[in-house]
Structure 1
């Protein structure tokens, strides 16, 4: 849990420190811009952007029941963020699993990604998997 929030917290702290320095120099507009940019980047890199994560077993069970794919991701991953934004609202129709929260999820990704924890990894209900798929491919399966 803490690991997923580490990058957003560091970005927010850097924004606060940078803005404080600019503010003490009397540059309030630049201070506000730096703080706004850092907080916005922190939100984009936070677990808030992704749908609620499930455990690997729960996601597999739900996927088998409703036919939706399982998408393995991790916070701070630029490729995961890009996939999430390109899929748009349809992303909520998949089951998202944070590999940093669930060791079984990390093991599932390593099993299909040649021993690497490469994300995003999409596993379809029939067991087929694709590492770092395109948004169009994912949208077709949602």
Structure 2
């Protein structure tokens, strides 16, 4: 089942817009601006924009076999995925990222690796799955 990755960011923006309107109506423009900025940053963080461009599961496997780089299965709104992404920094672009909400085959691969759950991030290195690995460990795999 595919899901809509923009639902959570849009809800965050709507909540931020409502709080901004309340603060502005109270005559607190500084608080309104701060709330809008905070919620816009939060919406960007939980959106697909915070992650490298996703490929399909089949394409990621093909590329990983060719270049030996890890595959990272993720989904929008996942705090652990965001933690991994931010801790990897610019190195994150070296991995092959697959959004399990966009690709049913990817979700099935994660369920197979995790015993039936869609636990992400699941990182596949050399054909072996690692569920929610330490970002430092993933960083060493990307440095190779």
Per the TM superposition, whether the score is higher than 0.5 is yes
Provide the aligned length of Structure 1 versus Structure 2.
141
- Alignment correspondent of 1:107: 108
Shift of 1:40: 0.5
CA distance in 2, matches of 1:133, 1:67: 18
Matched with 2:95 is 94
User: Does 2:100 align with 1:121?
Assistant: no
RMSD of aligned alpha carbons: 1.1
Equivalence map 1:1-142=2 (5 Å): 3-124=4-125, 126-142=126-142
Structure 1 gaps of 5+ residues are none
State the 1:2 CA deviation. Answer: 6.6
Using the size of structure 2 for normalisation, the TM-score is 0.95
Secondary structure, in 3 states, of the residue corresponding to 1:72?
Answer: strand
Residue by residue over 1:82-137, the C-alpha shift from the partner in whole angstroms, topping out at 9 and shown as x without a partner, is 0000111110000000000000000000011011000000011x211100000111
Quote the offset at 1:3 in angstroms. 1.3
Structure 2: gaps (5+ residues): none
